[in-house]
Amino acid sequence: MEKAKINFFYNGKITIIEGGREEYMKDIFQKYSLEIKIEINNLFFLYNGNIVEEKLKLEEINKNKAQLEDEIKILVCDIEDDDDKDYIKQSKQIICLKCKEFCKINFKDYKIILNSCPNGHCFSNLLLNEISNFEVINEKEIKFQ
């Protein structure tokens, strides 16, 4: 069975799990859950800004690509309520990967640079698929002043 590395990003920490391309995402998520010692029912998983369905196989999660990548990047989020998934949206603005404040985007040599964050964060040499997982917001967490 052909394998791929799955990089799970959760609370600023990366955990790498190896998964077979024919393996169901539910089983991969279970391995990850055991590794970080957090109940799987308290988490949900995003790939390219979309919630990953457990019933899909690893090779099916990126339907738009001709071939599965050797490394898959998945953003892991906490579930506070059962209906929290309905509030997760793709941001229409460019936001800092760390603090979720608005920032500027620049391009250099086909790489993306995120800078001018109000908190001074800067990220460089990013690929488009690397930031799309992080450009999501939970509308429930938006506070109006």
Residue 145 has pLDDT above 50, yes or no: no
Considering the domain architecture, whether residues 102 and 74 belong to the same structural domain is answered as no
Q: Could you give the strand order of the β-sheet that contains 104-108, starting from the edge strand earlier in sequence?
A: 104-108, 111-115, 123-126
pLDDT for the residue 36 = 92
What is the percent of the chain where pLDDT is above 70? Answer: 72
Considering the domain architecture, whether residues 63 and 30 belong to the same structural domain is answered as yes
Do the beta carbons of residue 129 and residue 72 sit within 8 Å? no
Considering the domain architecture, whether residues 62 and 92 belong to the same structural domain is answered as no
Considering the domain architecture, whether residues 93 and 129 belong to the same structural domain is answered as yes
Which structure tokens are listed for 37?
A: 């010692």
Work out the pLDDT band at 129, boundaries 50, 70, 90. Answer: low
pLDDT for the residue 71 = 82
Between the alpha carbon of residue 120 and those of residues 54, 111, 114, 137, 141, the distances in Å are: 37, 20, 10, 20, 22
Considering the domain architecture, whether residues 63 and 126 belong to the same structural domain is answered as no
Element of type H or E holding 12:
none
Do the beta carbons of residue 76 and residue 9 sit within 8 Å? yes
Q: pLDDT tens across 76-98, in order?
A: 988 765 455 556 666 667 878 77
Q: pLDDT tens across 12-56, in order?
A: 889 999 988 889 999 999 999 999 998 888 888 988 878 899 999
The whole-number average pLDDT for the span 67-79 is 79
For residue 123, give the nearest of 104, 142, 143 by alpha carbon.
104
What's this model's pTM, rounded to 2 decimal places? 0.56
Question: Comparing 114 with 80, which gets the higher pLDDT?
Answer: 114
Domain count along the chain? 2
Residue 119 has pLDDT above 80, yes or no: yes
Which structure tokens are listed for 29?
A: 């998520």
What's 25's domain CATH number? 3.10.20.90
Residue 124 has pLDDT above 50, yes or no: yes
Q: Which residue range(s) make up the domain with 60?
A: 3-79
